[in-house]
Amino acid sequence: MEKRKLGSSGLEVSAIGLGCMGMSFGYGPAADKKEMISLIRTAVEQGVTFFDTAEVYGPFINEELVGEALQPFRDKVVIATKFGFNLDPSGKEQWIGLNSKPDHIKEVTEASLKRLKTDVIDLFYQHRVDPNVPIEDVAGAVKDLIKDGKVKHFGLSEAGVKTIRRAHAVQPVTALQSEYSLFWREPEAEIIPTLEELGIGFVPFSPLGKGFLTGKIDETTTIDKNDFRNTVPRFSPENRKANQSLVDLLGRVAKMKNVTPAQIALAWLLAQKLPNKNISGQAWIVPIPGTTKLNRFEENIGAVKVELTADDLSEIETASSKIKLQGERYTENAQKMIDR
């Protein structure tokens, strides 16, 4: 597996990571734990070294899954997890608000370390920016954890440009995790140029558009009642039908390359290596597609071997620029948690 460094931090990971959220949460009922442990360990054997989780996924059970699965390989892998929510002790709600107060961050750290069966968190993201806590205080708390040897690297998720700059001035940010794909290109306007300038790596989540870019979902697809995509405007049947033209584009390119639409979508992301004086011209974008199926995992990592020429990329750019995608990516309440 090809390796990449997340920005100028020196943190080296596999070119494609594994997002583990969907194994426990979000896309319907949790998958079988033994099968997921086997899948995660197969990923390690296939060269994946970057695994993403969070305390809120479940909550808690996804960190426990990842910790158990990776314990035999702990010195060979990079584990990323996240803080930033007040979790509902009753279990009735997933969370009951944002909380990035320094004392809370340190409490979460200790709990996550236990669930992950480790003595250090490789990459610790603020899951969502808390408007009630200055980002300088958040960065300072993580800086203390790094000094204490409990965390190695600081990350942000769905943070805006001003927040990134303010945080980075206190404690260098290793990576930003935000949604980015041919299905959601907003980061290209301001976020990616800022990361490039500051030497911060980029970890796109939902690189397959929450599954839509695989070509396996259309307007007739029934989505499980517990799947969060039922609440996503972009996944309404009418919007799925309207946005099918993007999947059709990927399918045409995939057919020419004798690969799958998902592999083209991931290869496109991997090809977004902008020249960077702060990152020595290296590729610094590392997508983290998630799956619960071994064949899908193998399909995803196969994207590393797919070569898109300058002409291929130009064709995708020209054709996709003519497609106006329909539907918001989040509900109104979820949108409020996105830092601008």
Domain ranges of the chain: 3-209+262-306
**Catalytic option among 57, 125, 180, 330:** 57
Please report the pLDDT score of residue 307 as a whole number: 94
**pLDDT tens, position by position, 172-217:** 999 999 999 999 999 999 999 999 999 999 999 999 999 999 999 9
Q: How many helices (H) and strands (E) would you count in the chain?
A: 12, 9
Looking at residue 27, the DSSP 8-state letter turns out to be: B
**pLDDT tens for the 340 residues of the chain, in order:** 999 999 999 999 999 999 999 999 999 999 999 999 999 999 999 999 999 999 999 999 999 999 999 999 999 999 999 999 999 876 667 778 999 999 999 999 999 999 999 999 999 999 999 999 999 999 999 999 999 999 999 999 999 999 999 999 999 999 999 999 999 999 999 999 999 999 999 999 999 999 999 999 999 999 999 999 999 999 999 999 999 999 999 999 999 999 999 999 999 999 996 554 455 568 899 999 999 999 999 999 999 999 999 999 999 999 999 999 999 999 888 888 898 7
Please report the pLDDT score of residue 68 as a whole number: 98
Please report the pLDDT score of residue 281 as a whole number: 63
Please report the pLDDT score of residue 56 as a whole number: 95
Count CB-CB contacts under 10 A for residue 230. Answer: 12
- Quick one: which of 149, 144, 125 has its CA closest to 53? 125
Concatenated DSSP letters for 129-179?
A: --TTS-HHHHHHHHHHHHHTTSEEEEEEES--HHHHHHHHHHS-EEEEEEE
The class (CATH top level) of 3-209+262-306 is alpha beta
Q: Can you tell me which residue has the tokens 């990927």?
A: 250
Q: Record the pTM.
A: 0.96
Examine the residue annotation and report whether 180 is marked as an active-site residue of this protein: no
94, 56 contact by CB (below 8 A): yes
Which residues face 12 on adjacent strands?
5
Q: Can you tell me which residue has the tokens 């998958």?
A: 31
* Spatial distance between the Cα atoms of 66 and 79, rounded to a whole number of angstroms: 8
